Amino acid sequence: MSRALARLGASRGALKASLCTQATPSLLVRPSAARLNPTALARPCARFYSAAPAPPPAAAPRARRALLYVPGSNVKMLKKALSSSDADALILDLEDSVASNQKGAARSNVYDALQTAGPSTRSQLFVRINSRELGLDDLEIVLKSPHLDGIVIPKVDTPEDVRRVDRFIEEHGLEETKDKLKIVASVESPLSLLNLKEIATSSKRIDSLLFAAEDYCASSNLVRTESRLEMLFARSSVVTHAKAFGLSAIDLVRTSYKGPEALKGLQDEAEEGRRLGFDGKQAIHPAQVQTIQTAYTPSEKEIDRALRMLAQYDAASGGGAGAYGLEGEGGSLDMIDAPMLLQANKVLAQAKAGGVDLEKFKEAHKE
């Protein structure tokens, strides 16, 4: 027993010595010092942090902040949306916005609209099909268009709802485009929420999870309120599962769209969605698009902070520091380390995807 304890003590001593020789004190670097001398180092922190490499820049995929629904039964709206909409994505709808006796005509309308897509079409083009077997009838028509970017599947309760569509795309999709088609799964029920892991991994084409608030509230007997607290668990579950499996998360629709109160409510809702981790939000009227896309684009203040964090990391890491202090408002210092650098890179990736000219910000930092 005594020999075992001695060996354990020696191992702990060796580990402690190893950590002491490898660890580098974290140093607080004020922006002014870093600008004057990149290797200038201020007072050391009480804790020690091992030096860590800066996370690689996050990828900048094409933004999908506002997803605007366009009724498939309205030819005029379809033409206008495809020719002039600024929404990152259009969802040409064959489901809820189309009366049952108009389904066939709407399919033809949507296919014709897809075929008119050209240089003036700035939006990604999705089609929301009907659920179950009726959706396969929709797919038989819309899959013929090479301009289709993806399919929104409504009422996805189980992974089989996704696999059915996935198999149909594989068997009937155009050879030149079917491997690029994305699937957006709509979460509309408690059963869907319980099956999120299986749904998120049901197809290689799954790209996003979309939260359909009105359907979810109806199926869950929730009372919809302006606070949205009754949906917080469901919305957070959608985000958590989306991020766990590398998917995008699309937030709920704001049903009111006219008047200053509706606009203020939309802005609050969109900003809240972004804070919860959503990547975009559904829209039911063109008047909602700009507000949503602004809310889901990092602000100048966020971009400036992200650039300062990365610039000061370069200065601090030159002296071996793995964490450092970033001067904030009022002269306060915020501790910055690797996870926060990852967040900074994501902010810049979101800004770039949203069309922000980051070079202008970088030039301003050089001055």
Burial class (CB within 10 angstroms; exposed 0-12, middle 13-18, buried 19+) of 335: middle
CA–CA dist 338, 85 (Å, integer): 39
188 labelled binding-site residue: yes
CA–CA dist 151, 205 (Å, integer): 10
What torsion do the CA atoms of 267, 293, 204, 116 make, to the nearest 10 degrees? 130
Alpha helices (runs of H) in the chain, residue ranges in sequence order: 2-22, 31-36, 75-84, 103-115, 132-142, 159-172, 190-194, 196-200, 213-220, 232-244, 260-276, 289-295, 300-317, 338-353, 358-366
Extract the tokens encoding 253.
């629709």
Extract the tokens encoding 269.
């809702």
314 labelled binding-site residue: no
- The β-bridge partners of 185 are 153, 209
Closest CA to 292 of 301, 284, 283: 283
Radius of gyration of the chain (CA): 25
Q: Which residue has the tokens 């030096």?
A: 51
Residue 102 · residue 94 · CB < 8 Å: no
251 labelled binding-site residue: no
Phi-psi region of 30 (alpha: psi -120 to 50; beta: other; left: phi over 0): beta
CA–CA dist 314, 196 (Å, integer): 40
% helix / strand / coil in the chain, to the nearest 5?
50, 15, 35
Annotated binding-site residues read 128, 188, 215
Annotated binding-site residues for Mg(2+) read 188, 215
Annotated binding-site residues for substrate read 128, 188
